[in-house]
Amino acid sequence: MQERGGVEEITVLVDKPDHGGDVRGGPGDHVELREVVADECRLEDEVLGRIAGDRQLRKADDVGARGARLVHPADDQPRISGQVTDGWVDLGESNPHNSILTAPSPPLGLVVPVAYFDRLRALSRERHTLLCVGLDPDPDRIEGGAAGALRHCRDVVRQTEEHVCCFKPNSAFWEQYGPDGWAALLELRDEAPDTPFLLDAKRGDMDNTMRAYARAVFGTLAMDAATVSPYLGSDSLREFTRYEDRGVYVLCRTSNPGARDVQHLESGGKPVFEHVAVLAEGLNGAGNIGLVVGATAPAEVAAIRRITALPFLLPGVGAQGGDVESAVRAAWNGDPASCLVAASRSVIYASKPAREAEALKAQINLATGVRA
């Protein structure tokens, strides 16, 4: 254990993940941890932020301002046998002699994050689903301001959680309510601690601004994943991807009609969206990057899948009229994270959201050839 700048560094070992398989696994599937070599600055920010927010880090008074750096385990060295809870491995519950190599025992309450895509895969197998429900409250359809939006979306979460492997709130729909909207979103996040939340924020800016955006999304709001814009390039994107336990979906070929205006322009004989896919591949050293590829353009989904195996977020089904069967078949490659299908309005404004979510889940599973 070393103490540097007021932050104690603790080295722990974790197992590699299993990225294969399909959605047919059972509830007892073991969640394995992927290799992470964490950025020290990011971890200091994250741990300190979680202590301040008193959200993800339990027993913070025992931990203090500690950072945890994960390293690849050698084949003949002991591994962590901690318990996975709410996306975190609790080292306080594990055998200290099998967990910490540079300290005689782990501090009680120290937690190691489980990578977003590993959580997504495990939950997809457990619940037999590739469905993601968007939580986008419209004040023209939901009365009562932020409180009404929270009540409505909380009910949707409770009704649909068993049928989804992720929830996707769009930040704009909560920002429109002002500070009350942010508070409501935080409460909504706590409604389903076992299910990942993906903030659809489409952030894109200079690197120092993106650093602040990332702290807000992953620290203050405690989101598990986010969408980002690639327009400012790799230095901008790295401010999000350096949070290696969080998912980062890069806009590639979006679902709106105007996507062709820029994303289909050619450079070097290839459309811009293909260049974006290649850029994302090059930044995926931590295995935490995916692509946003609209289900309204199944031909482009297939074209992008031919050049990359990155996970896809497929918006555009339901109210946008995307072709579920064609898009899912084009995106699916056997990896449960390869094809996260997002639907918002068609589910959250349905008279029976649970029934709508269950039907959409079945339609998606039929397209992949996977049976629940």
Question: For 2-23, how does the pLDDT look when each residue is reduced to its tens digit (9 = 90+)?
Answer: 443 444 444 444 444 444 444 3
pLDDT band at 318 (very low <50, low <70, confident <90, very high): low
pLDDT tops 90 at residue 93: no
pTM exceeding 0.95: no
pLDDT tens-digit profile of 124-135?
999 999 999 999
pLDDT higher than 80, residue 332: yes
pLDDT above 90 covers a percentage of the chain that reads: 65
Active site residue 202: yes
Q: Which helix (H) or strand (E) holds 68?
A: strand 66-71
The pLDDT of residue 316 is: 83
The answer to whether 312 and 305 have CB atoms below 8 angstroms apart is: yes
pLDDT at res. 38: 41
pLDDT of 90 strictly over 90: no
Give the pLDDT confidence score for residue 48 in this predicted structure: 40
Which one of the listed residues 59, 202, 352, 361 is annotated catalytic?
202
Percent of the chain with pLDDT over 70: 68
Helix (H) or strand (E) holding 118, with range, is: helix 116-127
Between 318 and 52, where is the model more confident?
Answer: 318
Mean pLDDT of 104-127: 79
pLDDT at 312 over 60: yes
Rounded to the nearest 10°, the torsion over CA 294, 219, 345, 335 is: 40
Regarding beta strands 166-169 and 198-203, do their DSSP bridges make them parallel or antiparallel, or are they unpaired? unpaired
- What pLDDT is recorded for position 313? 97
What pLDDT is attached to residue 287? 97
Which pLDDT score, from 0 to 100, does residue 6 have?
41
Q: Which domains does the chain have, with CATH numbers?
A: 2-114 (no CATH), 120-368 (3.20.20.70)
Nearest Cα to 10, choosing from 79, 75, 99, 114? 99
Q: Is the dihedral of CA 198, 201, 203, 208 positive or negative?
A: negative
Please give the pLDDT value at position 110. 56
